Structure 1
Amino acid sequence: MAREINKPDVIAELEAAFTMYEQALIDNDVKIMNLLFWSAPETVRYGIADIQYGGEAIYEWRAPAPPVSIYRQLHRTVITTFGIDFGTVSTEFSNDVEKSVCGRQMQTWVRVGSKTDLANGWKIVAAHVSLTQST
């Protein structure tokens, strides 16, 4: 099993999907963000002050949600893949405006689509975002 963890080509695919999602956050591209979440009742998103169960609830929440800061910066991003169809992305984030706050974001990604789909079929099936005071 060890050789199936963090295969370079799978890490590269998931990193590209995650980068696409992050750029959509900065651009407030709701369509791309929605396309990168699995459209299923089992999908869960725990936000800073909100919770959504199911793809439809995430899409309904996302439409009027304010965009993230254009100054968003990622720190200590860790991508781990298991096999060719499952992985996690954990990162911390901050922005130049609110230096006293540190955000944390974890996503579980699964390839539920085809490699010819957007992001090679990778979709977020679970996400958690939280804030803490910087130390």
Structure 2
Amino acid sequence: MVINDPEVVAELAALYPRYEEALVSNDADTLTEMFWDSPHALRFGATENLHGSAEIAAFRQARPGANLARTIDRLDIVAFGRDTGSITLEFTRQLPGKTVRGRQSQLWIRLPEGWKIVSAHVSLLPS
């Protein structure tokens, strides 16, 4: 297995900005499309545990669209072979009266329909 094949890293690096733009603009349709359409997809958020693509999509559709902007402080991509990758990042959000720091991890798998997030986790760091 080749770790960090430059072509695979480049594919994932090209996908991530689309995810980030959809996230901060609250584009629920694009975010839903980027996740694996399966009852096995997972997203553990700062305040929620979502099991399956239906729960993830419902969360996205109901999420308020305000104050979603964030600054990416660090982004790391690791590719494992041709069809598996990990994208992790640290971020900062400016909210009224406070700065919030957090982290995010995503497991991406190349499926027949293309690259999909099969598992994601978001957590906030204590202030």
Same fold at TM > 0.5: yes
Alignment of 1:9-48 (within 5 A): 9-48=7-46
Q: Which residue of 2 aligns with 1:105?
A: 104
Misfit runs of 4+, over 4 Å: none
Cα-Cα RMSD: 1.6
| Structure 2 unaligned spans of 5+ | none
| Structure 1 unaligned spans of 5+ | 115-120
Q: In the TM superposition, what is the alpha-carbon distance from 1:68 to its structure 2 partner?
A: 6.2
124-133 or 69-78: which moved more?
69-78
> 1:11 & 1:68 partners in 2: Cα distance?
32
Q: Is residue 77 from structure 1 mapped to residue 75 from structure 2 by the alignment?
A: yes
The count of corresponding residues between Structure 1 and Structure 2 is 126
SS of the aligned residue for 1:48 comes to coil
Q: Percent of aligned pairs with the same residue?
A: 41
Q: Flag the 1:68–1:39 CA change in 2: closer, same or farther, 3 A.
A: farther
Instruction: State the TM-score, normalized to the length of structure 1.
Output: 0.86
Q: Which residue of 1 aligns with 2:125?
A: 132
Q: In the TM superposition, what is the alpha-carbon distance from 1:17 to its structure 2 partner?
A: 1.3
> 2:15 & 2:77 partners in 1: Cα distance?
11
Q: In the TM superposition, what is the alpha-carbon distance from 1:60 to its structure 2 partner?
A: 1.0
Letter in 2 for 1:125: V
95-104 or 39-48: which moved more?
95-104
Greater fraction strand? 2
Q: In the TM superposition, what is the alpha-carbon distance from 1:21 to its structure 2 partner?
A: 0.5
Q: Which residue of 2 aligns with 1:95?
A: 93
Q: Which residue of 2 aligns with 1:117?
A: none
Letter in 2 for 1:133: P
Q: Which residue of 1 aligns with 2:55?
A: 57
Q: Flag the 1:74–1:59 CA change in 2: closer, same or farther, 3 A.
A: same
Offset from partner CA, 1:54-86 (integer Å, 9 cap, x none): 011111111011236353111111100011110
Instruction: State the TM-score, normalized to the length of structure 2.
Output: 0.91
